[in-house]
Structures are given as C-alpha cells and as structure tokens.
Amino acid sequence: MKRFLRIGIVFLVAVFALAVVLFQWGLRPAREAVPIAGEPYSGENIVRFPVTPRPLTGFAAQQILHPFMAFEGGGLHGNAYNSDVHVTGGPLGRNLQVKTRQVSPLPGGVCPTITFTKDGLIVAMCASFSGFEINLFEPRTLDLLATHELATRPSTYEALMQWNLDPIFLDTSGGSYFYLDDHDRAVLTDAEQRLQRIAHRRNADGEWEFHVTDSWDIEPHAPHDCLGIDNWFPRGECDPVTSVMPDYDGRIWWVTRFGRVGTVDPHTGTIGAHRFAGEEIQNSLSADADGMYVITDYALYHMVAGSDGVPRTIWREAYLRSDEYRYGNINNGSGSTPTLLDDDRGRKYVAITDVGDDHTGLVVYRREADVDGTRQICRVPLFGADASAVEISPIGWGRSLVAKNDSGYRSAFHGTSEAAIAGGIARVDIRADDSGCDVVWTAPERVPAVVGKLSTNGLLYYYTFEQQPDGENAWYFIALDFATGKPVYKQFVGAGQAFDINWGSPAIAKDGTVYLGIFKGLVALADALPDAGAD
C-alpha cells in the first residue's frame, strides 16, 4: 500500500513540477497585457439607475494615515483600520472604460491584494496554480513590469495529495495579507516563515526588478514542519503565518493560523511571541495608536507589545461561534478582520461578525482600554436564517457599517449560482447615544466573496453576477449609493468562470481608476476623460 502511495505522490509531484517548469520557461505572461477571454454575451454593457450619490464628509484622517504604511496601502482592506474606505473618488459610471489582463496562463491568476506606490505603480499579490507572486504593473495599461516569485504554500501540496483544491482556497497564509510600507516596500511573510520587506527599483538596463531589503526568520517562534516538495511525510507542527501589520511604533506584527501572535523589531531583529493555545487565526489584524486588534475563532483581543516585544492582552471579548461549519466561511469562527471606526466626536469602536446561531451577527464594541459598563454595544443578526455567512470584514465609516452575505460561495472552482447564493447587503448604524445599533437599509444584490469598498464620493463598489440562459454567469462591477443602498450603475465586465470574483478586492488609485482582481487576472475600470466622449 505504501508503495502505491509513493508512486502516486511521485506522479503528482511530476505534474506539479512540469506545470511550474513550463510556466517559468515558456508560459510566463508577456509584459504587454493580454485580455481575459470570456464567454458570449448579448446583454447591455452598462445599466444606469436614477440615483444620485451624495459625497461623504467628516472623514477621520487617522483611518488612512499610518506612520509606517503607504497612503491607503493597508493591503486587502485599504488601511490599518481595515475600514475598506478610500478617500479617493472612484468611477461615477461616465462612459466607463474597461480593460482586463490575464495574469497567468495556468489555472487561476487572481490578484487579491492590490496597492499603489507614491508614483502610481501597482504592487499586487497574485496567485495561480504555480504559486504566489508579487507583481509590479503599469497603471491603466496593466503591462507587467516585474515579478518576484514566493515560496509555494504547503496547502498547494495538500491539494495535490488530496486531489482537492479546497486546502488552497481555505488558506490565508503565504502573503495574501501583505501591506505596502512608507517606503513602498511590500511587507509579508512567505510560505517558509520568512518575514520580508521587498522593494522595487530599476536595474542597470533600466528594467524594473524586485529585491529583498530585509528578512527575518520566524520559524523558531512558529514551527514549520510542513508538507513540501522535499517533505512529503512531515511529523511535526506546521503553523504558517497568515498576516502581518505594523504598529504605530514601527514593530511588524504577525499572526499564525494556529493562534500565535508575534512582533519583529526591524531595527534590532528582536522577535517576541505569544500563543493562544487551541485557537485559530485566519483573518488579518488591525492597528490604531493604542495597539493592535487580533481576532481568533473564539475571541477578539486588544493587544500591545511589551518592552521585550512579546504581545500582551489589554482586553478580550469572546463572541458567539458555531460548532458546525457554515458554507461560505473558512472556519467555525468569525470571518471578519476587525474593522475600526472613529466618529466625529472622538469615540472609538471595533466591529466584527460572528457565526453563533442561524444568523451571522454584526457585533460592535467600544475599543478604549477602560469602559464603563459592558464593552459590547450591539449584536445585529444579518440576512436569512441558515443562509447567512460573512467572510469579509464590514466596511466602516464614522458610526456606519456595511456588511454583505457570502453564504453559498467557496471559490470559482466550486461554481457560482443564483440558487446557491442568497446574497444581501446591509447597512447598520451605531446609535448616537451608544444604546444599540439599527439597520438603516438592506439591498438584495448577490455580491459574494468580493471585498467591497466605499469611496468618499458616496459610492459603494462591489462585483455581482447574473445567470444567463445558457447557464453561464455574466459578471458586473456595481456601484451602490451609501446613503440608501440603491444601485447607481452596473458595468458588464465579462462572462464565464474566468471573470468569477474568487475573493478579489477592488482598490481605488489616486486618478480614480478602480483595479480589481478576478479569477483569471486583473480588471481596470475608469471614467473616460472629457475629451474621450464622457457623457
């Protein structure tokens, strides 16, 4: 039996190795953008609705200004508050121009995390069957300027062993939650437990390239006896790093899948770590001037680093979790990175979602270290009974939160259908006297797996789909009015699996262009310039 197992492993390794070699030798995408090929579509390209959005006012600057992060460079959720808010105005739907780029000729190619350098270049984490890469793209044209390959994640080998792609899509490690720092360096921990700062530059030939400026080995503090190309029968503990985020003193914090929380002092290299035994961390962490906010599958923690760099807990709040897996979530705990909010009176909140009953709940807490009475302000049940799962943190603005339903979605490979996905979006506001929270509006749109964004132009940006008569999905970029939840416009992007969202995240550049990662690559959407015939 063991002999046949080894033969099977050899075969799978050979297939994987061949795919990687072909990618490196001949299938690597060219510099120039190749459009993503889709299925036939005969519907309208853009649909406008009679709704005029109202620009937002009173934005709290601290939500985007972090001394050790790029402007709106907080990675997947836009900033250290993980508020998913961009102060830049996105497209208003005026003669929208749509451009796509295939990122990988192999299965996949999604770029879930997109950030922007000071000079407007795009630094994106992209993933395909061959693994993760940091890519540098030219804005608007989507031309590829440079690529830096990262170590292959253990989940890729697990998928090969099991002949099942679920381990890949349920894994948040390996660099997905990277951020861009104040020197435009991508900061991440790769699949070999190396925390790295990766910069880009022009070489002697004038070509762009990435280079590692700093590297710290986390493995002594986070065991890494993981399945790999040279380790098919691991016997020890495998605990990959899932996310990184800087605090306001410049330390780089990291968390692992199985409950370890640590810091690295980039000046001294000192590493400190603490473990929440028996708890799991699959989401990112958030930061404000008072410390860090970490969520496990059991509780939300406010933490600070001691003089030795070891994280310690300031307060802890357990939330309702489930003993059963809910389809649409990664595990039985919260699906949301903590969302931080400040209102115009200086009051501070943190919001998460739970999975404690037949409805996911949106939960809001006061985040100050000392509070009078209970820390929890409210818990609001969301969406339909037994059709409610939130795997994306809520958008946060002032005293308002917007959450959406991911129930019924796992990945592009599992299929996406109107029958399986209930959909739904809800805005919930914290009452002025902090006595509770109220649902302001709900919307029926099906927007699973997209990391929605709010622009201060008053628009919420999502990605939705409609099933066509031939069974294929037509995929649309959609804008909703933040005040009412009503659709303002929706723009057709493409039809078929290649255009599935697959946990992509829109990001808004300073010129107003939205860049979005989808299953097979990148999409750029921008209002046409006035001389290009904008209506």
* Confidence band of 526 (pLDDT split at 50, 70, 90): very high
pLDDT attached to residue 13:
46
CA distance 93 to 445: 18
CA distance 64 to 332: 31
pLDDT attached to residue 130:
66
The 3-state DSSP composition of the chain as helix, strand, coil percent (nearest 5) reads 10, 40, 50
Q: What is the domain-level CATH number for residue 447?
A: 2.130.10.10
Section 55-84 average pLDDT: 81
> Whole-model pTM above 0.95?
no
* Residue closest to 140 by CA, chosen among 503, 529, 450: 529
Contact 311/274 with Cβ under 8 angstroms?
A: yes
Reduce the DSSP state of residue 178 to 3 states and report it.
Answer: coil
DSSP string, 192-237: TSEEEEEEEEE-TTS-EEEEEEEEEE-TTTS-B---BTTBSS--S-
* Confidence band of 170 (pLDDT split at 50, 70, 90): low
pLDDT attached to residue 527:
95
CA angle 429, 388, 434 (to 5 degrees): 20
Contact 7/13 with Cβ under 8 angstroms?
A: no
* Residue closest to 191 by CA, chosen among 133, 235, 234, 236: 133
**Range of weakest confidence among 176-185, 199-208, 415-424:** 415-424
The predicted-structure confidence for 427-446, as pLDDT tens digits, reads as follows: 999 999 999 999 999 999 99
The predicted-structure confidence for 302-339, as pLDDT tens digits, reads as follows: 999 999 999 999 999 999 997 776 655 666 778 899 99
**Long-range contacts, stretch 42-46, CB < 8 angstroms, 24+ apart:** 43/468, 43/474, 43/492, 44/492, 45/491, 45/492, 46/93, 46/96, 46/489, 46/490, 46/491, 46/492
- Structural domains in the chain (count): 1
Pairing of strands 85-86, 453-455: parallel
CA distance 376 to 394: 17
CA distance 364 to 231: 44
For 365, phi and psi rounded to 5 degrees? -125, 155
Percent of the chain residues past pLDDT 90, beyond the cut: 66
For 159, phi and psi rounded to 5 degrees? -65, -40
Of the CA atoms within 13 Å of residue 265, those in its CB half-sphere come to 14
With the C-alpha atoms ordered 88, 93, 97, 101, is the resulting torsion angle positive or negative?
Answer: positive
Domain ranges, residue 372:
2-532
CA distance 435 to 97: 45
Contact 461/525 with Cβ under 8 angstroms?
A: no
pLDDT attached to residue 73:
67
Report the number of secondary-structure helices (H) and strands (E) in the chain: 3, 34
Residues 6+ apart with CB under 8 A from 415: none
pLDDT attached to residue 12:
44
CA distance 299 to 333: 9
